């Protein structure tokens, strides 16, 4: 068995713990100390689907503007580039600067170096700050932050999935805009909160890896007015 090699580590702001980047042959992994693996370069089917399915639900957008909360290993951004069109603008909010550095370096080839695409702008800050500051700015908002509504790394992430956070996301979307939220599993109360805010809600279960692996959940919530 080829051993894992630790390449780098970084602290998550807000007492979110320590991220560690590992490599084993051509396989990459990001884990959080004491809580296990968060993502793996061989398992990204649901991240791909998050962007592909969100773009498929955009209505009449020849030049959509997307906000992606959470860079991860870059697979969601790469999928958005494939499906959003040549005139798209994609803003990526990533809280941990080291994750951006890893994607510009050793991780980049695994997703096809999406950060090199001129359609992409990276902002090293909490996506919550963007949602609080911008209104009617995006045709789609994609959230792949933490573990979904059941947060794993940062207590501060709870705000994104609260009624206040969803109201901010609703306001940041343009009419008919789509909020897409990745989660490790279902959460009926989160579905109820989406509807209470005014979204039309659809739930989609997707495989983590092709036709294999665990099933993850993606909410697609449309702002109708």
Question: Helix, strand, or coil here: 135?
Answer: coil
Is residue 20 one of the residues assigned to a domain?
no
CATH of the domain at 163: 3.40.50.150
Q: How many residues does the chain have?
A: 225
Is residue 12 one of the residues assigned to a domain?
no
Least confident of 70-84, 140-154, 161-175, 187-201: 140-154
Give the model's pLDDT for residue 150: 66
First to last CA, the chain: 55
Residue 154: pLDDT above 80? no
Quote the domain boundaries for residue 139.
Answer: 43-222
**132 φ/ψ angles, rounded to the nearest 5 degrees:** -75, -25
Is residue 207 one of the residues assigned to a domain?
yes
Q: What mean pLDDT comes out for the span 5-30?
A: 94
Question: Helix, strand, or coil here: 134?
Answer: coil
DSSP-based helix, strand, coil % in the chain, nearest 5 = 30, 35, 35
Q: What is the four-CA torsion angle of 59, 63, 68, 74, rounded to 10 degrees? A: 120
Q: How far apart are CA 88 and CA 85, in angstroms?
A: 6
List residues bridging with 104 in a β-sheet. Answer: none
Distances (CA, A) of 111 to 10, 34, 93, 144, 211: 21, 27, 17, 16, 20
Q: Return the DSSP state at 2.
A: P
Is residue 23 one of the residues assigned to a domain?
no
pLDDT interval class at 155 (50, 70, 90): low
pLDDT digits (tens, 9 = 90+) for 100-130: 999 999 999 999 999 999 999 999 999 999 9
Residue 171: pLDDT above 90? yes
Number of domains in the chain: 1
Q: How far apart are CA 60 and CA 37, in angstroms?
A: 39
Query: Hey, which bits of 33-170 come out as E strands?
Result: 36-40, 65-69, 89-93, 120-123, 138-143
Is residue 24 one of the residues assigned to a domain?
no
Is residue 51 one of the residues assigned to a domain?
yes
Is residue 117 one of the residues assigned to a domain?
yes
Residues 6+ apart with CB under 8 A from 149: 161, 181, 183, 187, 189, 190
Give the model's pLDDT for residue 184: 82
């Amino acid at each position: 068995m080829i051993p894992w090699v630790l390449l780098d580590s970084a602290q998550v702001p807000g007492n979110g713990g320590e991220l560690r980047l590992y490599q084993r042959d051509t396989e990459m992994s990001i884990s959080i100390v004491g809580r296990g693996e968060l993502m793996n370069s061989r398992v990204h089917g649901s991240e791909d689907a998050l962007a592909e399915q969100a773009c498929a639900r955009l209505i009449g957008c020849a030049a959509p503007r997307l906000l992606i909360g959470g860079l991860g290993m870059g697979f969601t951004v790469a999928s958005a580039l494939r499906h959003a069109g040549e005139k798209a603008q994609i803003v990526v909010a990533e809280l941990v600067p080291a994750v951006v550095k890893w994607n510009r370096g050793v991780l980049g080839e695994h997703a096809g170096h999406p950060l090199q695409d001129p359609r992409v702008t990276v902002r090293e800050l909490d996506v919550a700050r963007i949602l609080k500051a911008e209104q009617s700015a995006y045709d789609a908002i994609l959230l792949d932050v933490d573990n979904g509504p059941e947060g794993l790394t940062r207590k501060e992430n709870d705000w994104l999935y609260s009624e206040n956070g969803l109201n901010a996301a609703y306001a940041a979307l343009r009419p008919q805009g789509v909020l897409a939220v990745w989660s490790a599993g279902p959460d009926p109360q989160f579905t109820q909160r989406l509807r209470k805010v005014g979204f039309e809600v659809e739930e989609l279960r997707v495989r983590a890896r092709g036709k294999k692996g665990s099933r993850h959940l993606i909410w697609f919530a449309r702002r109708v007015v």
